[in-house]
Amino acid sequence: MTLQEILGGKGALVHFIGPNETLTEVVRRLFAHRIGSLLVCEPGSDCEANMLGIITERDILRALAENRASLDLLRVRDYMTSDTVNGSPQDEIAEVMGLMTNRRIRHLPVLDAGRLVGIVSIGDVVKAQHDQMLLENHYLRNYLHGGSAGELA
């Protein structure tokens, strides 16, 4: 299974925020959309081609740990990750799982020819891998019990 298949199932909706927005606004949007990250781009620009970085829940925690200031005074540009780790639609989920685990990241922008086509979370990857294992398990059990591998019970 590939990232393209995951995006096909979950959709490619991505939420953005500008680099000059406050961290309070980040928290508001993360909570409102029930997500763990926002991609950063300049307002009014082609965000799919001009992504500046990503800001995540972890970045908010880091800001809180480093500062006693209100999140209203802290800006996205100062806490976002500019050097993002990215995937491509053709990447296999086993490779992506290893990449995300080794780099200790939970959100992976997916780029195709330098353009953003979506974002996957570690939860999306785990779910896809789990679903794939359940399907393989089903086919193997069916085959072992005398059916053909192609039959669904």
Any domain includes 29: yes
Per the domain annotation, does 150 fall within a domain? no
Kindly state whether residue 151 falls inside one of the protein's structural domains: no
Kindly indicate the confidence band of residue 134, based on its pLDDT and cuts at 50, 70 and 90: confident
Q: Which residue range forms the structural domain that includes residue 49?
A: 3-144
Assigned domain for 79 exists? yes
Asked if residue 152 belongs to a domain, the reply is no
Query: Are 108 and 120 contacting, i.e. CB atoms less than 8 angstroms apart?
Result: yes
What tokens were used for 75? 């800006």
Residue 80 maps to a domain: yes
pLDDT band for position 12 (cuts 50, 70, 90): confident
pLDDT category, 152, cuts 50, 70, 90? low
Predicted structure pTM score:
0.82
Residue 153 belongs to a domain: no
Number of other residues whose CB lies within 10 A of the CB of residue 26: 26
**pLDDT tens figures, 38-81:** 999 998 888 888 899 999 999 999 999 998 778 999 999 999 99
Number of separate domains in the chain? 1
- CATH number of domain containing 107: 3.10.580.10
Domain presence at residue 51: yes
Res 118 pLDDT > 90: yes
3-state secondary structure of 113: coil
The residues, ordered by sequence, that sit 6+ positions from 126 with a Cβ below 8 Å of its Cβ are 97
Answer yes or no: are the C-beta atoms of 76 and 23 closer than 8 Å: yes
Burial bucket for residue 138 (CB in 10 Å: 0-12, 13-18, 19+): middle
